[in-house]
Amino acid sequence: MLWQDSEKRRQSLLDLRDVLSQKGYIQTSEKVVELSKILDLAQLPQDFEERWNSTVIQFEKEFAQGVHAKFRERCFEQIAKITIIAIKKIGKDFPTKLLELYNLFHNMRLGKETVGKIGNIIENLKDSTFIEERFYLLCFAYLIMVEGIFDDCVRILYFLWKNSVGSSIGFHKVREMRVKDIKKDFEQSGLPAIFLQKWEEKNHLRNSISHARFEFDSNNSLVDFVDVNPWDGKINYNRSFSFNQFAEIGLEIEDTVEAFLFFFLLIKVRDFILSPTPYK
């Protein structure tokens, strides 16, 4: 067998297979099962990278579905590109760099699970009489997604990108940065972050919810969102959205997080086969 602990690695791969399957990425999960058979060999096959890349491509095909297919595809490709370049450029120090971020990954997954539970409640309140309750639940889920998950996702990608281009920046420094400044740095470098498109509006919505400046209008089933400049107290954002319109904006945030978390899961698939120390 490829490794002395191949059976343990195989079980870990099957656990990841189950996660993919539960999320609906059936063909990708089957690809993971095929990859796990490499552990039965005495050495890595020459086409290992091709097989792993095929798994990544299959995930992208399954992920890039629905009305946001193009955004999902471009978002996933950029996240994958940033991360793969970081792995290659940072080299043997990559696992050490990731250790700085371990707790963030854990918290992001917990937050994603919470948002999923809120989504299930929303789905169960399909009667039109619950439109106001559904809207407020969606606002709560949006706030958790932006403030507790998306922010960290962006900062991790920025951290990896900066380290991959030779700027040895610690994550404690990145943690202090505003997302809009991260977006500006990406743009000035010639790498506009697809996952940060329309960030200004998304952040206004986040501010509106967190400061309780949003109100449901029962006459037309819209929610009015207002944001105020903290320096002069003047309104700098005021828009109304239907439930579906607001959900569309939230989906871009969720899609970015989904692409991010699952690409790192696919990297873990690679580690369980390739790395001498996948559990460190």
Interval 51-81: pLDDT, tens:
999 999 999 999 999 888 999 999 999 999 9
Per-residue model confidence (pLDDT) at position 35 = 96
pLDDT for the residue 99 = 72
Rounded distance between C-alpha atoms, residue 83 and residue 157, angstroms: 7
Task: Give percent of the chain with pLDDT exceeding 90.
Answer: 72
The predicted pLDDT at position 117 comes to: 94
- The residues with which 241 forms a beta bridge, in sequence order, are 223
Q: Report how far apart, in Å, the C-alpha atoms of 171 and of each of 65, 66, 264, 280 are.
A: 33, 35, 18, 20
With pLDDT > 70 as the criterion, what percentage of the chain qualifies?
A: 99
Cβ proximity of 91 and 149 under 8 Å: no
Rounded to a whole number of angstroms, the distance between the first and last alpha carbons of the chain is 21
Q: Is 24 helix (H, G, I), strand (E, B) or coil?
A: coil
What are residue 235's DSSP bridge partners?
228
Indicate the SS3 state at residue 217: strand
Residues contacting 240, CB < 8 A, separation 6+: 217, 222, 223, 224, 225
| pLDDT single digits (tens) 138-151 | 999 999 999 889 99
The pLDDT mean for the chain works out to 91
Angle at 88 between CA 111 and CA 81, to 5 degrees: 55
C-alpha dist (Å) from residue 31 to 35, 126, 242: 6, 36, 40
The predicted model scores a pTM of 0.89
- Of 21-30, 169-178, 260-269, the least confident: 169-178
| Confidence category of residue 86, pLDDT binned at 50, 70, 90 | confident
- Distance CA(251)–CA(210), nearest Å, equals 19
Residue 36 predicted with pLDDT over 80: yes
For residue 112, how many C-alpha atoms fall within 13 Å in the half-sphere facing its CB? Answer: 23
Grade residue 168 by pLDDT with cuts at 50, 70 and 90.
confident
**pLDDT exceeds 90 at position 88:** no
| Three-class DSSP category at 23 | coil
pLDDT at 96 over 90: no
- Helix, strand, or coil (residue 100): coil
pLDDT number for residue 275: 87
From 218, 195, 210, select the one nearest 76 (Cα to Cα): 195
Q: Which residues pair with 226 in a beta bridge?
A: 238
Pairwise CA distance, residues 277 & 280, whole Å: 6
Q: Which helix (H) or strand (E) holds 86?
A: helix 69-90
For residue 79, the one-letter residue type is I
Q: CB of 40 within 8 A of CB of 2?
A: yes
Least confident of 21-25, 61-65, 123-127: 123-127
pLDDT at 71: 94
The model's confidence at residue 114, banded by pLDDT at 50, 70 and 90, is very high
Sign of CA dihedral 175, 179, 180, 185: positive
| pLDDT given at position 90 | 78
What local confidence, expressed as pLDDT, does residue 167 receive? 81
Tens of pLDDT, residues 195-246: 999 999 999 999 999 999 999 998 999 999 999 998 888 999 999 999 999 9
217 beta partners: 222
